[in-house]
Amino acid sequence: MSAVIAPEDLVRRFSRTAAGRSWLDSLPDRIEQCLRRWGLRLDEDSAGPWSGFGSMVVAVARGTEPLVLKLAYPYPEASSEPVALRLWDGDGAVRLVDDDGDGALLLERLDGGRRLQDVPFPEATAVWGDVVRRLSIPEDDRPAWAALDRIDARAERWSDELPERWTRLDRPFPRWLLEAALDVCATRGVVGRRGGVDVLVHTDLHGMNVLGTFDAASDEGFRAIDPQAAVGEAEFAVAPMLWNRLPELRRGDPSEALLERCHDLASAAGIDPEGAREWAVLREVENALWYAAKPDHEGDLERSLWVASALCSRPLPGLPDVWELKRLG
């Protein structure tokens, strides 16, 4: 059996720390254990392995069934993935076949060559909206829900944390933008929230995390992968589709085009466009503070500030044009 070699980008990312190197060194044994545990073989005729930001994915098969084995670095965020995938049970998201409770997931195989990222707008808007509708299952009495983070509680935490971080980082953007984010915390957090339905939310639902099935003619031709799942308002899911693919915004008035994109995505998913805009402002202000605290993330900081301020219809001066911002993906 051929040894599986980790992708170069994954090796570069995780070779920087002792914990990362230890995880990389563990991968061959982990793969071998999973092959034995689930009666799998490596599918050497398929492409791969592939890497996510914090995981390695290997093509495997059980009998004639094509599957993938995903091995995730033990980030706290990764713990929500098997919980959410079991709750969705293959409706709108990749089907979880099994997991070992220690970061190894056995999943159905999707078509990595068909990403929503490559589907032109507005077709991508309609596909994304359909995926969100299927993923937005209401909270029920299954115990698994208790293991997931609450979005309104997250907003409540941010209402305390964001001003302190903004001050500590020497006020990296104007106060009005911070206050715009805090207004969202006040109206969408636990204390100020008025109504709303809590559903299961994929909080990182951009085009690279939506893949096609191998049955392109199916009514469910695309499914989500890599959820960082939480419980709350479905409108929280729109933001990643706004901060990706910015160079595709029309010329002339890109900030107005971004607002239109926000409205169109929310409408396609059957959710509130204003709520989607508010959550996106808050998420990008929080992202901006995260980037401001990290060296060598100036381009990411500029992108988050452009998106947040454009969604407030007050683009900040001094930022690059949208087509010159650092790209994701």
Q: Which residues are catalytic?
A: 204
| β 65-72/50-51 pair status | unpaired
Order of all β-strands in the sheet with 229-232 = 149-150, 229-232, 199-202
164-172 long-range CB contacts below 8 Å, 24 or more apart?
A: 165/289, 165/293, 166/289, 169/289, 169/292, 169/293, 172/288, 172/289, 172/292, 172/301
Residue 293 near residue 169 (C-beta atoms within 8 A)? yes
Q: What angle do CA 38, 214, 207 make, to 5 degrees?
A: 100
| Cα R_g (the chain), whole angstroms | 20
**Sequence-separated (6 or more) residues with CB below 8 Å from residue 130:** 222, 268
Letter for the amino acid at 325?
L
Residue 193 near residue 100 (C-beta atoms within 8 A)? no
The residues that bridge with 61 in the sheet, in sequence order, are 41, 66
The per-residue DSSP string of 186-233 comes to HHHSTTT------EEEETT--GGGEEE-S-TTSTT-EEE-S--EEEE-
Length of the chain: 329
Nearest to 73 by CA among 146, 154, 16: 16
Q: How far apart are CA 91 and CA 307, in angstroms?
A: 31
Q: How far apart are CA 184 and CA 167, in angstroms?
A: 19
